[in-house]
Each structure stands twice: as structure tokens, then as C-alpha cells.
Structure 1
Amino acid sequence: MENFSQSQFGPFLIDVRERVLLRDGQPVPLTPKAFDLLAALVAQPGRLISKEDLLQKVWPETFVEESNLAYNVCALRKALGDPAENGRYIGTVSKQGYRFTATVSPVNPANGGQPSSEGTAEIGREAFTGESRLSILAEVNEEPAPPRRLTTSVPPDVEKTVLPFLRQDPVRRYQTIADAKVAHEDLDADSSGTAQRHVPPRSFAFSRRWAALFALAPVLPAAVYFAVQSRRVSSEPLRALPLTSLQGVMRSPSLSPDGNYVVFTWTGPKQDNSDIYVQQIGAGSPHPLTSDPSNDYSPSWSPDGRTIAFLRREPSGGKSGVWRIAPLGGTERKVAEIQPRLAMYRPISLAWCPDSRCVLVTDSPGEGKWDAVFLIALDTGEKRQLTYPEGQVLDVDPAISPDGRSLIFRRDTTPFSGAFYRVSLKANAVPDGEPVRLTSTLSAGRPAWMPDSREILFAARGALWRLDARTRGTPTRLPFVGQDGLTPVVSRTLDGRQRLVYMRSFADGNVWRVDTSAAGVPASTPPVAAIASTRSDQIPNLSPNGLQVAFLSNRSGESEIWVAAPDGSNADQLTSLGITPGFPRWSPDGKLIAFHGDPEGRPDILLVSSRGGKPRNLTTNMPNGGFPSFSRDSQWIYFTVVQSGEARIWKMPASGGAGVQVTNNIGTIAIESHDGRDLYYVERAERPSSVWRLPLGSGAPVKVLDGVVLGTFDVVEGGIYYIDRLSSEAGVQVTGR
């Protein structure tokens, strides 16, 4: 069969050589990536193509978020005039990928542009035929012929294992995937002439033989697993075996140098406080190292195995201490104190120097300056700055390669997204040259070096990835392990193999509803889950007419803005930008939704129609922007601008234009009163803070209340709803204005 460059489906003709799509002979405009996506789908009609394969085909040399794929699929469907999720041309297979569902025929230009009789994909051909509906139904329900009737080379035990997959009678099929897995393992063991046996923990390995540790938190009970691969068959998929099962939240695992112990934080048997625990892999129970009432986090085992360093958050919440302790316990020693700016948004991490004489952390260089990477000497507590971010960025999650020649860190443009950078090091961890950017902007966790000092591992898009830190290139997803993975760490065992530890965290947050008869009146019914999915749904905002809710959700794989009815029905994804959006807010007339995101690698305010469409960036001519809200007449948008390290409230016309500073003192989230006379704002969103009232006509700001957590307040007629963790009964409170 000839390899023609033209193919026809329905009224369309695609020419991959000339890169043109025609509909009834007229060009159909497509972006380059949308055309590449269509070409990839049409090339394999009827076949399910995974999201990973499509990302590699359409963006072969670039690491992009999965939402870029979803956005181009949506654009392609609109161009084909078939916007339905499973329409005539492109079908969606939930959480897996896409399938081109139309009949595709190769076109021979030498044949007058008519479809070729060769190679026509029979998509849409009836799978079952018959003279009547009854005969077709009989064919559908007919039990399949045993495989040995088709070929005598199929062994009886293989046929026995395969047949339940083919059975028409549901009772005769495998009832669960676990049943199928057991049958496959039994067949595998029988074919090798050996019975299944338990693989001791010390035989687990990484690279060709991996070992992985999962901490399932926070919605499900925490559990620890090993993902193991048999020595007998090197290509066998990895398997996860339970190691521990703990109630509560586990975070930040780190391996001992010999790979036999793991240190991590756990909220403990009472689930009341985060402390440091050590667990021998494959034996025993977790042993507590700390018991201080403060929050201990980010433990890290020294390369020489003698010390565990960790961070302890001070009661005020703004500062953290750098502490050290022996792996067997004993006296804790405070080494230094740090005060990074955005520690409350995402916990910072701590890493060791290869010689075990110093640690790396993120800290603020001083008033009005942005967070940078610092080296702290353990014996003196002396700090030395290693990176010098310029502009509105923060350098976080540092890690030095085992050979001491490279420093990896993430340069964040927002609290939840940034790009990885590498800087070469001379002796004594002295930077040698400027940092080199390795990735595009992404929402990723802390990096971990492989023992070869060449590759790094990191978590992003609900998986674990590896990247050559010297040549950059495209990150590669780790197979078989890493779903919902976070904070990977690698260690080489005494016998020369390698072991991987990471945390698996699956959060299923939902939007809840409380009904009251009037503002300030106690709830008339218990809270109920209003908007729920199997993923995270959060940061809701009710439309002015009460008929819709805008919220943030990653139910499509990426965090995007969604709208739905208050009961969760009619959910519709409003954005497909892959920019980690947040804080959606309705305009009082219900026509627009404002939110913040980082489409240009920095915080900005975006505006989108409540019916959907392309978002518009309002703050391209401002230093930055975040936490938007509308004035009561829908004419203005209030937002925060950070300059010289401090946040102030500004406003600008909703139609666009010049910004005007509103507050002189610190302010992060602002909401206008119902009568439009006052502006209420909270000082900070990253820690408990005060709410102030500023008369919009004239007058000085007045403090209204203290202790509002994470900026969670809203202004209604006659009062303010807020969340106060410091009150005697934690929860939603209300106060008069």
C-alpha cells in the first residue's frame, strides 16, 4: 500500500505534507499544534492514543502541562464543527486519552483526488451483522471460541487464564482486577517452574529494580508500600507491596545513605502534631525522634548517615528553625533561624551538602528582597547566599548533586509554579556562572538527584519524572510507579543497587454548603457536600443570583476554573490554560469571572466570560497582580500588587486601563461593602491576619478583627463571615461590621 500524504474523513481532507485542512475544498484555519494533533489522531483512526503519546508527538522537545493537550482538543473539535466530547470525529476516553472515531480513507492524488481503495480504515463498520435484530443479538451473546480452536500452539494453562477475559457471561469473567492479577501471577510462576515466594526488602532495587515508598495522605489512611520488580524477569512491571499502614498524614520522606531506613514526618497515633519518625524498611514500627508541640517538617538524612536535619516552624508561623538530631534520637540542637516569605503557601525543603558539613535552605535576604537559596554551616550557623533572584521570583527547593558540582533549584514566579534551574559549583559550593534554565514553567515539587549526578527526579502532573540536568531535553515519566507521587528521594544500597522513596498523596477536597435563614443566624441544617468529584474541588465563589458556583478543580487532570450548579450538576470547565489559576470571583452582574494565574510566568489578573472563551490579561502593564474582586457596580476590579516585597491593594477598570493604588499599608485580599462605601481587606493570606475597613470616600483604615486564617473572609449585608482557627470553637464565624 502506498503512503499517501492526503486522507479524507467526512467532508474534510487533510494533507500532512502541505499542512492544510480543507472542508469541501475550503481551508479550515488551525494553529500549528492543533494541526499536529489532528494529524496524529488521523494517522491511527479507531486506536486509543494515550495522553502521554500525544504530548510526545505534538510537543516532542518540550515539557508542557496536560491542559495544553485538552485545550487543543477543544479547539480542534470546534474547528471540525463537532464540539461534543464524544462526537463524530474525536472521542474521549476518560483519564486515558483520545480516539479518532470517523472513517478515514487515504487519498491518491494520481487518482483525481479520490479515496484510495487500499488501506481504508474500517472505522464505523458494524462489528456484528445478521438478517434480523434477533440474529445480531444472538451473535453478540455467543460465547467466544476457545483460543486453541484458532491455533493449537496455545498452551492449556494460557487458554485457561485468557478465557475469563473473553466470556460473555459476567459471572464467568474475572470479578476484580485483583483476580486477574493473581491468575496472571500463578501462570507466570508455573511457567518458570517455581512457586511464588516473598521477596525480602533487601533485594529491592532501583533503575532496573526499583523500590518505592508511598505515604497515602491526607484523605485516606497513610500507607507505605514497596514497588518491587522480580530479579527473574527484568521487564516485569513493578509491584507495590504494603510496608506500613498508618492513620494520619505522612510527608517528606528521606532515605538513609545505605537505603535501609526512612525518616519522615507523621501526625502520630493521635494525629495531633507533626513530628519526625524513623522507620526501618521492611521491619518494625516507626520510632519517634521529636515530640515538640511545634510543627516539625522537611527532615533530611545526612550523606554520612550521622545526622538528621529538619525544620521546625515557630509558633508565630513566620519563622522556622533549622535543627539537627542523631538518627537514634537524643538532644536536639538548633543551628539557625530562617524566615522565607512564602513558607505558609508551600512548605520549603532542606537539603544537605555532599560533605555533610552544611545544609541548603530557602530564606529571605532581607526586607524588600525575594527568597533565595542559602548555605548554612552546621558548626557555626553562618549563612551564605548562593542565588540572587531578580524581579518578582523566589528560589526554592535546592539540591546539590552528589559530586558537588551542580546546584538544582526551582525559581517560582507564583507560590505554586516555576521552572527548574541549574548552576555550576566550584569548590566549597561557590557558584560558577549564571543559573541555566532547564524546564518551562510548571507546577512541580522538589527535585532529587540520582547517584550519577546527571539526572534529577521530580513530581509534576500527578506523576514522577526524570530529566537530564546537564543536557536538559524533555522529561521522561517513570513507568509503573509514581501515580500521585511527591517528594522522591534516591539512595544507593550497600550492595550497589539503588532505592527510591516517595510519598503518594491523594486529596479529595469537596465544596460544602451550609444553609441559614439570614446572615449571622446559626445554620438550620448540618453541612452537606455540594460539589464533589474524585479529585480536588476548592475555592468556591457563588454567583450573584445564587444559581452557579465558580471553583478550582483538577478533575480533568490539571487545575482549572470550573462552573457548576450549587448541587454540582451541569459542571463545565471554563479554562484550559495550564497556568495554575486561582481565586475565581464573579462580577455582580454575573457576566464575568476574574481570577489570577501566571500565563506569562508571573502573577497576573485574568478576566473571562462566565460563558467561556479566551481569558484576557488585565495586568500586563502592572508589576504583577493577584486576588481579584469586583466593585459592587462591576466597573472596577480590586487586586493586590507586590512591590519591594510588600503587598498593597490597587484597583483598575474592569474594561482595562491604568491601575490606582488604594491602600498605603499592607493588604492582600479586598472586598467592597454592599453599599459601596467601604473596602474591607485582610493584611496577609499566608498566615493568620487582621481584617481592616477603609472608607472609600475619605478617612483612615480601622482594624475590624484579628486572626483570620489564610484570607478566608467574605462581606455580606450586615456582617463578615470568616474562619478563625484561634477561636475556642474553630470554624466559620460571623461578626457585625
Structure 2
Amino acid sequence: MYEFGEFRLDEAERLLSRRGVTVPLTPKAFDLLLALVDQPGRLLDKETLLSTLWPDSFVEENNLADNIFKLRRVLGDGENGRRFIETVPKRGYRFVADVRAVAPLTAQGPELAPQVVAEPPRQAEAREGQVPLPATNTRRLVTVPWLVAAAMTLLVVALWIGQIRRGTPDPPRLLKASLLPPEDASFGDIALSPDGKWLAFTAATGSRVQLWLRSLAHDKAIPVESTDGASHPFWSPDSRVVGFFASGKLKKVELGGGLPVPLCRASAGTGGTWNREGVILFTVLGVPQILRVSASGGTPEVVLHADPGQTDLHEPFFLPDGRRFLYLAISGGKKNAGGIHVGSLDGKLRQRVLDHDSNAIFVAGDPNDRHRGYLLFGREGGLMALAFDSDGLHTSGEAEPIAARLGTVQGANLSYRRRNFTAADNGLLIYDPHIDRQRSQLLWVDRHGTPLHVLAQLDNVGVPVLSPDESRIVVARKDLATNNNDLWLTDPLGDNPAKFTFDPGSDLLGIWSPDGQRIVWTSTRNGSFDLYEKEVSSQGTDTPLLRSEQPKFPLDWSRDGRFLLYRQIGPQTNHDIFVLPTSGQRKPSPYLQTAAMENGGAFSPNANWIAYSSDESGLVEVYVESFPTHGGKRQISLAGGSGPRWRADGKELYYYSFDGTLMAVSVAGGGASLTTGTPTVLFPFRPASATSGPTYAVTRNGERFLLSAIVETDPKAPLSIVQNWTAGLSTTARYR
């Protein structure tokens, strides 16, 4: 490993970083830089460099010159008097900056004692906060090793040597530690590489969420460039590429550097998995299908549709044969419809394995027999292990807790929270032991984001909507005990919350009628996301408003009461915006139905315009277009946006920007023509949902905002790390 200037070059991991941030390099540019840095001050002739970079090919000197040019541009060679690479005319190149060789962090003897603790086999639960590992500090040249994997391995070797000397080998022991998040950040989704050497995770710094990478042989976590809004990371089988979801797309990024590469549209991903044949399976919120796409990109194809009574599918995970996979099915209220299932790439296999509402993974119990091992999943607030034969698809023994407390991560919206754990076949397990790490909460702020009031009695909430007279709020709330969602009503201060829906299906996304007398929402009680309505003041029944096979989600109700706007997910065009007349034949018709993903429709106060988001440009942006006829279309957001809302007088429009801020845009006109200003920043916040709609409401005068925001109750809480976790299982829980 080398350091020069503000840069660090890691040969083992093939990473170049600057101040802790990964600098993208092509493989040849990296090899060239390594060759130069390895011999600082020495002239390397062109022939030597050409034979080093292209040993088996004849390549013209222009290729070498082109890579030198790329390196100089990346390093900022020549800027502010800095010099790194010197050209020796007609001969070659020399690296002229000071280079410091940095020894890779290693675990040596007594230093390990306070870092990792070995425990007897039956002490399966790690003590929270027991062994905190150092947080990121890019200023240190040599740091206290956190070296989890290497340290644990060395301890195991030491124990094994001791056993050989005694002549009586003992079973592997549990080794436990804690991992602190990067400085000023908090952990989100986590994913171990298949070889157990890297941890990919999302982390929030303020309102900004990014993908990070951390080698388990070093103490430094590195944020990955251009990954804002990342979620649900997963790995390629060779542990060299990370897949993830961001900006309405499925993307991948190489471990060695480079910018993320979009693979396909994926409006709100809820999990992905990758097999050795280059097939990626993934799921999207609100789309009850398992989708497949090539690892090189392309058009997604449907592998498996949800069964009747299932409203959503999440978290696919390939089994060792690369043909069959685990997935989680969400029930719309039908008995025995949900749970952990196994499917196959040919779509012929649909087998229910467990009746648990949790994401699940398979971990091999023996490196020599990867088809027998354990299912890991969440149950009753903890992490469970159950012996499983992935060939015969049958379980054995009893499920046993391996962690008493297991945290969750808010998914793409309120209807889904994933259990936060990950494991590799080398015996390494990482999980979040903090159940209350984050929650969604309602709070009032002013135009500067200054907190005014917290609605403390309501948490785990979704999209808030103010009644037209601003006297009441309707919001969906998740019961973490039952994992069910219902609508609640409350006053603006949140002092008297009252449940509005009581069905065992999920009830979400309530909107008010213009007179404030009725509420329309979406419910899964009939096996799909259908629209229902109910009088607010009465104890009447929930009345079906619109039923069909396609999932539907209400967006807005025109002020004159004539039209209801809703989002529909179709099999061909994905997310579209439809209009439902509230009188006459009440026949719905599409307003926007294209190959792009449209969402977040909102009527202007006079109902002459609709603001919405679309990814037609390749990035989700906010647009305004006339209604009921199309015309006057214009883009409102500048660098990504979603969730538009209008001020009551129509003179201002708001939206959420992907950089984590709420934006405001001035609006003039509004009749036959419309003029919009330049977006301005109001304040940053982290929304509880990235896809369900605008997770904020605004008062009629635009002076106060009601936010449904993610609140970090303990942002510095560490993750728990366990090596040889199977050593803690009882005999009856082991696979046979």
C-alpha cells in the first residue's frame, strides 16, 4: 500500500482513494500507476511499461500515452503546482512525487486481546458494545487494527495450534466484535461479499445516503461516488462487483473503482441476487413479480408472478445451484399465502418453506458440502437459524436463536422493513442488534427546517396528508408487532390519534376529498392493492371504489371534486398515472402511460395542471403538464426530484431532491400558460419513504411543513460481528 499527496493506492484491493473517497480508474490505468509508484524517482522506459501492461499483445505507444493522460487528469497533475508524473521525451516516464510505503494492517500478538473476544460455544449472543472497532479516520497513517476477519482467523489458528499441542482438538469457538459506523454516519443496509472479505453497506450522513465499501482487512470505509440514495446492496458471486438500487434504477459498481453502471429500470428495489451464469434476480416494491436481467444490463423479464393472495414479493436469494432461489411473499390477508418461499428460474417451482414474514438467506454449514447448511431469518425480534438441505428443499431440527435482538431497516416505503443481517460461507456473520436504531416520525418544521413540534405519539408512519381545513391529519402507521399497516387520524399536534381502518390487510396512502368528508386509500385486503373509500365522520363500512388486478395507489383529488388521480402498476408499462372521474360512469383513463416510470401526480389548485415525476430522461425528474389535455410540458427539477406538492394558491411548487433537500419553485400564471422559476433549497431532511409519494405536507400558506422523516435514535450504534457462529448451535439445531 502506498500514499502520496492526498492519495492512497491499495495494491491488494486495487483501489485508489483520495481523502477516503474512491477515485475511479480503468484496470490498465491502475496497473500503470502501480508500476510508476512502485519505483518512485526511477525512469521507466516506454518498452518496459508496454510489456508490463500488455505482456501478450503488440500495442502502439498511443495507448500508453492515453493512459498517462488519464492518470494525470485523475491525479490533478499540474494543478496548484503539484507534480506526480514527469515525461522524459522519447524515453519514458518517472513518478516524481514523494511516496510513502504503508504496511498493511496486521494482527500481531497481544494487540488482538482487546480487539476480539473468544467465547465458549454456547454463548451465542454477542454482548452489545463489547468490542468497539475504530471508526474511519483518513488522517491516520497507521491505526489500531479492526481487521475483523484476519484477526479472528489468527486467533482461531492460535487456538488450533494449542489444541494440536494438547492432542485434543476443541470445537471452533465463537469470536465476537463490534463495528462502528464511519464518522458522522449511521448504518443502513448491509451485505457481506461471498468470500467474506468485504462489507458493502449504505450509510446516512445527515440527509444523504450513499453506498460504502469496507475491506475486512483495513480500518477504513470508503463512500462510493455517484451512489446517492443507494439501497439493498448485493454481490456478484466472485465478490468483485456490487449491485444496488438508486435513482429508480438497478446499478452495479466494480470493487476496483469506476462509476456505477445502470443495468435497467427498477423504481424501488427491494432486493437482488446474482448467480454464476450472470443472471440477476430482483424485486420492485408494488410489482408482485420476481424479475431477471443480465448482469451486463438489458430489459427485465418476469421469472415468477405472485400467487393469489400475495400482494408483493421481496428479497430473492440464490441457492447454491444457481437455479433455485429464496424469496419473501407478502400476504394480502389470505391465510398461508405469505412467508419464505423457494422458486426457480424456469418459473415452475413455488414451494413455501417457512411461515415467517422476513427476508431469508442460505449459508453453507460445511465448505465441502455447500448444499447443506442453514436458513437465517428474523422472528420475534431476533435472528434465527434453521438447518436446511438446499437440494431436497427440506428443513430439519428446530429453529434456534443466534441473536436475541435484530434490527430492521426502513424499506422503500412503510409497507416493508427488512431484517438487517448478512453472512458468508466462511462462518462470518454481521447483524444489527439495535431494534430501535431508526424509525419514521412526524414533525412540524418551518421554511428553514427549524423543528417546531414533534408528534410523539405517532411513529413508524408513512405519507402524511392534511385535511383541506388543516384540522386533521391522515397517515398510515405500521404495527411492528403484527407487521400490519392501518390508517390513523389525528389533530395537527398529534395529541389524539385514532385508528381509522381495522382490516388485517395493509391500508396505506390516504387522501382527503376536497370537502374533508371522505378518505380514499389503497388496501391489500382483497389480495391486490385496490382503492377504498369511507366517510370520516361515520362508523360506516369501507367501500370498494376501484378493483382490478393491477396495483393502484391514490395520489390526489382535484379541488373541484371531479377527478381522482392515482398511480397504477401495469405488466408492460410499469408505473403509470390514471384519472378516475368521481361522477357519471366513473371509468378510469390513463393520463400518462408510457415505458417510463411516472409517479407522484398532484393537481394544481385550479386543476389545469398536473405535477408529476418521471424517469423518461434516464433520471427521475419533476415535470408539469396541462390537464385534461396535454401541453405546455416543462421540467421543474434540475438534478433529480420526486414527490411534488402545490401551495394552496398555486404560486409555489415543492419537491424532494435526490441530494436530500426539499426544494421550492415559484410559479406564475396557472391558467392556459404557466411560468416557473429556478428551484431554491429550503432545508435538508431524510424522508421515511423514497417511493410512496411526498413524505411531507405543506400548510396553505407554505410557511410550515409536516415531515415524515427517518429519525436515528442511536446513529453511532455498532454492528455485531460473529465468527464461527455455528459453534453456538445446540446439537438438535445442527443439520443432519
For normalisation by structure 1, the TM-score amounts to: 0.48
For normalisation by structure 2, the TM-score amounts to: 0.48
Structure number, greater radius of gyration: 1
Instruction: Give the structure, 1 or 2, with the largest relative contact order (CA under 8 Å, sep 6 or more).
Output: 2
Larger strand proportion, structure 1 or 2? 2
